[in-house]
Amino acid sequence: MSDYYKHHVFFCLNRREDGGACCCDHGAEEMFEYAKKRAKTLGVHGKQKSRINRAGCFDRCSEGPVIVVYPEAVWYTYVDSEDIDEIIESHLINGQVVERLKI
């Protein structure tokens, strides 16, 4: 079934060991945990709804921290939990892309 998840959200949680820019320098792990918990609390996490997923490097390190939402293929950056809230409420719940956070 192709619509197993309506929105599949991948957080880059890669940690570079070479000193280069990486999403985990920007609180990616903490924001991933926050997003997953928030989506569960709002009842939008699960089959045929949204899934917040761990992922490795997207090779867009200099633009990080980065998430991508499929199948729409919308790429976002974020600073804090308010940005995550807006992505969840606007995009995942209401289907409206958050233009200001797009990369």
Residues 6+ apart with CB under 8 A from 61: 14, 16, 20, 21, 22, 23
Of the candidate residues 74, 87, 88, 92, the single one contacting its own copies (CB under 8 A): 74
Task: Provide the pairing of β-strand 50-55 with 7-12.
Answer: parallel
Q: Quick check: 49 binds its own copies (CB under 8 A)?
A: no
Q: How far is the CB of 57 from its own copies (least distance, A)?
A: 7
* 40 makes contact with its own copies (CB under 8 A): no
Joined tokens for residue 14: 């890669």
What residues make contact with its own copies under the rule CB under 8 A?
1-5, 8, 10, 14, 47, 51, 53-60, 68, 70-75
